[in-house]
Amino acid sequence: MNAIHHIGSTSVAGLSAKPKIDIDTVLQSDVLIGEAIELVKTLAGFTFHGDPYGDGMWTFTSGHGSYGVRLYLCGPDNAHHKKRILFRDWLREHPDAAAEYAGLKCKLAAEANGDWKFYTGGKSEFVARIVAKAIDMENART
C-alpha cells in the first residue's frame, strides 16, 4: 500500500454528509490491484462492485444503505483519485465553496427522492468546476 486517504464529504469538517466514510487506498503499483482486490474480498462484510465507472477505482462497500464504508482501490497514478484529492483539499481550504457545496447537496437530496444517480449527477458540474480551479491554482504554483 502506498497511501490511505479519507475523501468525500465526511473528510471536510462541518460539511453535511451521509454517515458513510469514503476511503481511497492507493497501491504502490497497478500490478498489485488484482491481489489487493482478492485480499479485500476475503474480509467479512465487504461487497465488491468492480470498477463501476471505468476509472480504475475498484469499489467495495460495507454497511447498509447510506451507512457504512465505501473503500476504493487504485494505482498510484490514478487520475480520478487525484481529482478527488484536489476537490477535498479545495473544500477544506475554501469554506465558502464548502458551504456552496453543502447547499447544493441539500437541494439535490430533497429533489432526488432517493434517486442516488440523480443526486450524484447533480453534483458533477460543481465538482468539475472546483477541480478545474484547483488544477489552475496548482499549475500557477509551478
Residue-level pLDDT at 34 = 96
C-alpha cell at 84: 478527488
Q: How far apart are CA 18 and CA 12, in angstroms?
A: 12
Residue-level pLDDT at 1 = 64
Residue-level pLDDT at 101 = 97
Residue-level pLDDT at 138 = 87
Residue-level pLDDT at 115 = 87
Q: Is the pLDDT of residue 66 over 90?
A: no
Instruction: Give the model confidence (pLDDT) of 13-55 as tens digits.
Output: 999 888 899 999 999 999 999 999 999 999 889 999 999 999 9
Q: Which CATH class is domain 3-141?
A: alpha beta
Percentage of residues in the chain with pLDDT exceeding 90?
Answer: 82
Residue-level pLDDT at 18 = 83
pTM for the model stands at 0.91
Residue whose C-alpha cell is 491554482: 137
Residue whose C-alpha cell is 488544477: 135
Q: How far apart are CA 49 and CA 58, in angstroms?
A: 7
Number of Cβ atoms within 10 Å of the Cβ of 34: 11
Average pLDDT of the chain, as a whole number: 94
